[in-house]
Amino acid sequence: MQESEFSFELDGTDLPFEPGQSIMEAATQAGVYIPHLCHHPDLRRNGSCKLCTVKVNGRFGSACALPAQAGCTVESNTSELQEMRRQIVQMLFVEGNHYCPFCEKSGNCQLQVVAYHVGMVDMHFPPFNTARQLDASHREMLLDRDRCIQCARCVRASQDLDKKNIFGLAGRGMNIRLVVNSDSGLLGDTDFSSADHAAQVCPTGALIRKDQAYPCPIGSRLYDTPISQHTIRQDARHD
């Protein structure tokens, strides 16, 4: 197969890809942003948040999980998909308890910036106001389940990269929740460390360092400028 044949069309533009790459990986490599939350370039594919849903040859699919295929036509930046993404983000906001005004991750939070990107201006749905446990038992790290979106990034990072298997998702549907693999269920009773990969990959403020308060001043935070072409590769690796 010729090199030129390893390409597909994304929103009317031909993008090259390397065999085995997902649509998300090819788009990111080309500097095209497809909204996502559970996807992380260092982690195995998950495809759970559905925010990166695109239309491939007219059918819905997750850009992070679907391999790029030569000659296929992919739609991403359409009003239909943006509306669906907005509703997904709104549902994530009402499921958890996300208070951006005082969250230490504000400005560096992927959920927040995606909400801005998809044009979310209110929660639309009534908030669940669920009572979720805050786990401050660990010496270095805070686990604030109010901000958890069950993306399983920490679960995958802990299992695959750290080889510790500290986190897991328990329950189903609306009752799904992040659990900690210790007899007490507390993070303080594990060998979790702030140096672990799992401590670096949370897209929200659910897992943050305890000893830093608002480490980046307003104006210097990652998302103080809107997501644009020049930050996409940085974003993909940063969070």
Partner 1 sequence: MYEHLETAEKTQDLSRVVIEPVSRVEGHGKVTLLLDADRRVRQARLHIVEFRGFERFIQGRPFREIPTLVQRLCGICPVSHLLAASKACDHFVIGKAKITPSAEKLRRLLHYGQVLQSNALHFFHLASPDLLFGFDDDAAHRNVVGVINDHPELGLRGIRMRKYGQEIIRILTGKRVHGTGSIPGGFLTPLSTGNRELLLRDIDGIIEWCQASTALARDIFLSNQPAHTLFGQTESAFMSLVDANGAADLYDGVLRVTGADGRIMVDGHQPSHYHDLIREEVKPWSYMKFPYLSSFGRQAGYYRVGPLARVNNSVCMPTPRAEEARREFAAFGEGKPVQATLAQHWARMIDTLLCAEVIRELLLDPDIVGTDLMTSGDPLREGVGVIEAPRGTLIHHYRLDDDDNIQFANLIVSTTHNNRGMNDSVRAVAAEYFDGREITEGLLNRIEVAIRAYDPCLSCATHALGQMPLVIEAISPEGQIQSQLIRHADGLMERSPA
Amino acid at position 38, single letter: C
With binding defined as CB under 8 A, does residue 226 bind partner 1? Answer: no
Interface characters, 141-160, with partner 1 (x: CB under 8 A): -x-x----------------
With binding defined as CB under 8 A, does residue 102 bind partner 1? Answer: yes
**Count of residues that interact with partner 1, criterion CB under 8 A:** 16
With binding defined as CB under 8 A, does residue 212 bind partner 1? Answer: yes
Q: Closer to partner 1 at the Cβ: 100 or 123?
A: 100
Q: Closer to partner 1 at the Cβ: 87 or 194?
A: 194
Terminal-to-terminal C-alpha distance of the chain: 36
- Least distance in angstroms from the C-beta of 146 to partner 1: 10
With binding defined as CB under 8 A, does residue 214 bind partner 1? Answer: yes
Rounded Cα distance, 111 and 189, in Å: 29
- Least distance in angstroms from the C-beta of 210 to partner 1: 7
Structure token digits, residue 215: 């480490």
With binding defined as CB under 8 A, does residue 217 bind partner 1? Answer: yes
CB atoms within 10 A of CB 71: 10
Q: Closer to partner 1 at the Cβ: 170 or 213?
A: 213
Rounded Cα distance, 115 and 65, in Å: 22
Nearest 5°: phi and psi at 165? Answer: 55, 50
Q: Closer to partner 1 at the Cβ: 128 or 214?
A: 214
With binding defined as CB under 8 A, does residue 213 bind partner 1? Answer: yes
Binding-site member from 137, 181, 182, 231 for partner 1 (CB under 8 A): 137
Considering only the stretches 32-40, 41-49, 80-88, 213-221, report the one whose residues sit in contact with partner 1 under the rule CB under 8 A.
213-221
Considering only the stretches 5-13, 46-54, 95-103, 114-122, report the one whose residues sit in contact with partner 1 under the rule CB under 8 A.
95-103
- Least distance in angstroms from the C-beta of 217 to partner 1: 4
With binding defined as CB under 8 A, does residue 104 bind partner 1? Answer: yes
Q: Closer to partner 1 at the Cβ: 142 or 178?
A: 142
Point out which residues bind partner 1 (CB under 8 A).
101-104, 134, 136-137, 142, 144, 210, 212-214, 217-219
